[in-house]
Amino acid sequence: IGTIHSFCGEVLRDFALRAGRPPAGTVLEEGEAAALAAEAVHDALLQALDEGSVPGLRELLSEWSSGEVEGWVRRLVGNGGVLQKLNAGVERLGPREATLLELATLAAERLYERLERTGAIDFDRMIVGTRDLIAEHEDVRRALRRRIHTLIVDEFQDVDPVQQEIAYLLAEPERGSAATPRLMLVGDPKQSIYRFRRADVTVWTRVERDFRDRGMGDVVTLEESRRSVAPVLGFVDAVIGPELDRPLDGKALREFEVPYVALKTTRVDGPSDRAVELLVVPPNDDDGKCRKVEEVRRADAAAVARRALELHGEGVAWREMAVLLASWNGLELYQGALEAAGVPTYALRGDGFYSRREVVDLIVALEAIRDPRDDRALFGYLRGPMVGVSDEALLRIARSARRPYWDHLAGVDVGDEAEPLARGVETLRRHAALRDRIRLDSLITSLLNETGYIAFLSLLEGDGPQALANVRRFRAFAAAARESSLGDFLRMVREVRERGDRVGDAPLYGENDDVVTITSVHSAKGLEWRVVFWADLVRSVQDRAEKLIVGRETMVLGEPDTPAREQPDRWQELAALESAEVRAEQKRLWYVAATRAKDRLVLSGVPALSLIPLAE
């Protein structure tokens, strides 16, 4: 029993030598792998420019910045399966797309060379390498088939095409032979919501068609729910089911649109009525018109807090309630309203770590330690809570001293703030001297102790415990990078922030702690609570108009400085398909959100005027 990645790692360790490849070594974390890929892409770009080995590259760079081109190439390098398919159909691509593909192929080669040279492997190469190994070597397939009687893949709605190929290569369901492993694929396509992680719901659709229509297996529909009471499932049947069954183009469901299958509850306990509630935001008192979106959200957050207090008074424990948000942008608003009402909360989030205030404080202080003559870092450190001088003091420094300010601080009169300024300067001077002479985590520990920053975080109301946990996590990251210099560590952190890697807050509470969980719909998948507030329903989905659109087997680069509506037809067609897939996944997100509730589903943030057509 294990993950797909652990299975692939085991295959590569056991059989790579048979194929003349080095066995899988150290598995890189997402951030490490992305940093290595970024270096490979940058080096490939310089090599291609120096050697003139990629036709059309200079013309491409005359239209687009090197940063944009490197970003697109990193996307392609990070998905080896799509990169292979694009190369197989390169003749269908335009000249600029072919240039990008050739550069990406060169970068991928450089990345794979580095991985092999360092004895490391990333998650993408682990999956693609396993598929290639099994596909190209019959003896490996035979050995694995002798080991495996039944191959069960759970959450199959979240696999990508390469992972599906691995399952088919091992089991060969089209043969129906007793000599190959039995194949059991388990999942719910209505809960396929991880496109940003390369999950492809069309894989499920095609495999289901193989099993049902091509006689490759049986399709067994699971029709019972052991989680939700009947009224909650009735709401899902009446509201979300028809949306899933309604084709986006008004004609027929496409491969990425999942039909609805109703469930029957096995539960006989729980509420039999009022299991689904609407918290309605009334119209504006002045003119009866709809409120602005931000007004609706503020009223919604207050209503959620009031209803949570009422339900707690009726005997529902805090830990049995959750607030689901479509976006983390609403976290501060909803958490603030709940905390203000006396409701204990915990934000269960899967990203945003490097934008947390306490993490930014540490990064700024370390930047100042690395180079006190970096005026921006120096002023950020002095103004932050580790020193705490005022804006007025910084203004006096800026007016009285020359740059770099670090060299001239001693002669500046900052009045009553002379003492904290001198203490902060001495702390910075001492730690700048220690830089790269002691371990990174020891440097951070010393800085925290001397500045009293831990005491400052301990006094914060509400968010203090989470901030302390995040500081400990950041220090642990530094400890793991003990072989790196401070400059290398900060460079890695900067690259992770720029890429937007999904790094979540440090875990703060366990499942038995009595707090209300606030989380996103994505993070809530697989979880359940007695009461679920599906909040912020006034928020709408925004389409992203990226210049490079990558499909399953093709890609199109738009024209620079041209709005979406004026782009060429090929770009428009692929953009429309991408938009349709986003909207189809949004419907599946609704299904996931509504089915997290065991006893009561509370839909909040519904403007009253939007219900008038429904009432009529």
Give the whole-angstrom CA distance, residue 351 versus residue 82: 26
Give the confidence band of 183 by pLDDT, cuts at 50, 70, 90.
very high
Per-residue model confidence (pLDDT) at position 115: 87
- What pLDDT is recorded for position 614? 42
Q: What is the mean pLDDT of the chain?
A: 89
Query: Do residues 182 and 171 make contact, with C-beta atoms less than 8 angstroms apart?
Result: yes
Q: Is the pLDDT of residue 501 over 80?
A: no
What percent of the chain has a predicted confidence (pLDDT) above 70? 94
**The pLDDT of residue 613:** 46
Q: How many CB atoms lie within 10 A of CB 60?
A: 21
> Quick one: what percent of the chain has pLDDT higher than 90?
65
The confidence score (pLDDT) of residue 57 equals 96
- Top-confidence residue, 615 or 160: 160
More confident residue, 291 or 560: 560
Q: What is the pLDDT of residue 271?
A: 77
Residue of 507 and 71 predicted with greater confidence = 71
pLDDT score of 466 more than 90: no
Q: For 122-221, where are the alpha helices, taking DSSP H only?
A: 123-136, 138-147, 161-171, 201-213
How confident is the model at residue 288, as a pLDDT?
A: 54
Give yes or no for residue 208 having a pLDDT over 90.
Answer: yes
3-state secondary structure 552-596: CCCEEECCCCCCHHHCCHHHHHHHHHHHHHHHHHHHHHHHHHHCC
Residue by residue, DSSP assigns 325-387 as ESSGGGHHHHHHHHHHTT--EEEE-SS-GGGSHHHHHHHHHHHHHH-TT-HHHHHHHHHSTTT
pTM score: 0.79
pLDDT at 542 (0 to 100): 66
Q: Is 551 helix (H, G, I), strand (E, B) or coil?
A: coil
Closest CA to 360 of 339, 385, 335: 385
Higher-confidence position of 432 and 460:
432
Tokens of 8: 């692939």
Residues in Cβ contact with 432 at an 8 Å cutoff, skipping those fewer than 6 apart: 369, 370, 372
Q: Tell me the average pLDDT across 212-230.
A: 93
Give whole-number Cα distances, 546 to 34, 107, 206, in Å. Answer: 21, 22, 28
For the record, the structure tokens of 96 come out as: 């600029």
Contacts of 450 (CB under 8 A, 6+ apart): 427, 430, 431
List the helix and strand counts (H, then E) for the chain.
25, 14
Cα–Cα dist 591/191, whole Å = 7
- Per-residue pLDDT tens digits for 77-115: 989 999 999 999 999 999 999 999 999 999 999 998 888
pLDDT beyond 60 at 287: no
The dihedral sign for the CA sequence 581, 583, 588, 592: positive
Supply the pLDDT for residue 543: 62
Q: How far is CA 212 from CA 178, 183, 215, 369, in A?
A: 19, 14, 6, 64
Sheet of 529-534, strands arranged across: 276-281, 597-607, 529-534, 321-325, 516-520, 345-348
pLDDT at 463 over 90: no
pLDDT value, residue 511 = 62
Cβ–Cβ < 8 Å for 36, 114: yes
Q: Hey, which residues does 278 pair with through a beta bridge?
A: 603
pLDDT at 330: 86
Q: Please give the C-alpha separations between residue 431 and each of 405, 435, 468, 488, in angstroms, as whole numbers.
A: 18, 6, 22, 17
Q: Which two tokens stand for residue 312?
A: 């707690």
pLDDT digits (tens, 9 = 90+) for 6-24: 899 899 988 888 767 767 6
Task: Band the pLDDT of 402: cuts 50, 70, 90.
Answer: confident
Q: Is 488 helix (H, G, I), strand (E, B) or coil?
A: helix
pLDDT band, residue 462 (cuts 50/70/90): low
Looking from the CA of 367 toward its CB, the CA atoms found within 13 Å total 19
Q: Is 70 exceeded by the pLDDT of residue 428?
A: yes
d(CA 368, CA 362): 10
What is each CA distance from 181 to 39, 43, 128, 164, 382, in whole angstroms? 41, 44, 21, 15, 64
Say if residue 442's pLDDT is above 60: yes
User: In degrees rounded to 5, what are phi and psi of residue 600?
Assistant: -150, 130
The pLDDT assigned to 50 comes to 93
Compute CA distances 232 → 80, 237, 276, 615, whole Å: 42, 9, 6, 20
Contacts of 408 (CB under 8 A, 6+ apart): 401, 402
- What is the separation, in whole angstroms, between the first and last Cα of the chain? 53
- Inform me whether the pLDDT recorded for 441 exceeds 70: yes
- The mean per-residue pLDDT over the stretch 536-565 comes to 85
Q: What is the mean pLDDT of residues 29-50?
A: 86
Per-residue pLDDT band for 165 (boundaries 50, 70, 90) equals: very high
